[in-house]
């Protein structure tokens, strides 16, 4: 349990809780974008979607990702799992999800400017990225296949 001692399980629980919040936001935001892009650029509905997306990013997504990283790094340092191959694969997937989060945040800014570069169909397909990553991560963490 390393330097966390008896707090290890509390930190682990917090890590999992914030992963759930982060994933919920990553599932919601591309769907918001798909609906947003259906609204006329000069409509009141467009402004409502911009506000919803901003709140989702600033109130749920960004704080959750920061908490996931903070608690996860504390667990990593305390457990020494960095040498494990299953962990290295998990870490790579978390980096991918973090990059995906950044891309979604940047796309929200493009939508504010009226740019709509990704089709609704593609946006709905992108909605599957966090789900696939979570399935793989859970198997890696629970089964530790290598």
Write the CB contacts of 104 (distance below 8 Å, at least 6 apart in sequence).
26, 29, 30, 33, 57, 61
* Half-sphere exposure of residue 135: CA atoms within 13 angstroms, side-chain side: 4
pLDDT 10s per residue in the chain (146 long)?
689 999 999 999 999 999 999 999 999 999 999 999 999 999 999 999 999 999 999 999 999 999 999 999 999 999 999 999 999 999 999 999 999 999 999 999 999 999 999 999 999 999 999 999 999 999 999 999 99
Quick check: pTM over 0.85?
Answer: yes
User: Exposure of 97 by Cβ count < 10 A (0-12 exposed, 13-18 middle, 19+ buried)?
Assistant: buried
In the block, residue with structure tokens 């989702």: 56
pLDDT reported for residue 142: 96
In the block, residue with structure tokens 């998990």: 90
Write the CB contacts of 45 (distance below 8 Å, at least 6 apart in sequence).
39
Nearest residue to 84 via CA among 138, 141, 135: 141
Nearest residue to 12 via CA among 109, 106, 81: 81
Q: Is 15 annotated as a binding residue?
A: yes
Answer yes or no: are the C-beta atoms of 48 and 62 closer than 8 Å.
Answer: no
Tokens representing residue 130 in the block? 């966090």
């Amino acid at each position: 349990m390393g330097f966390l001692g008896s707090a290890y399980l509390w930190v682990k629980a917090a890590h999992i809780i914030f992963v759930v919040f982060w994933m919920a936001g990553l599932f919601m935001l591309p769907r918001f974008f798909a609906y947003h892009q259906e609204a006329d650029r000069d409509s009141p509905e467009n402004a409502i979607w911009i506000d919803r997306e901003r709140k989702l990013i600033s109130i749920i997504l960004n704080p959750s990702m920061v908490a996931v990283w903070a608690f996860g790094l504390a667990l990593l340092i305390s457990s020494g799992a960095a040498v494990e191959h299953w962990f290295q694969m998990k870490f790579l997937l978390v980096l991918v999800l973090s990059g995906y989060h950044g891309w979604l945040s940047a796309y929200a800014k493009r939508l504010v400017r009226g740019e709509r570069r990704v089709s609704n169909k593609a946006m709905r397909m992108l909605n599957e990225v966090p789900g696939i990553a979570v399935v793989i991560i859970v198997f890696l963490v629970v089964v530790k296949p290598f």
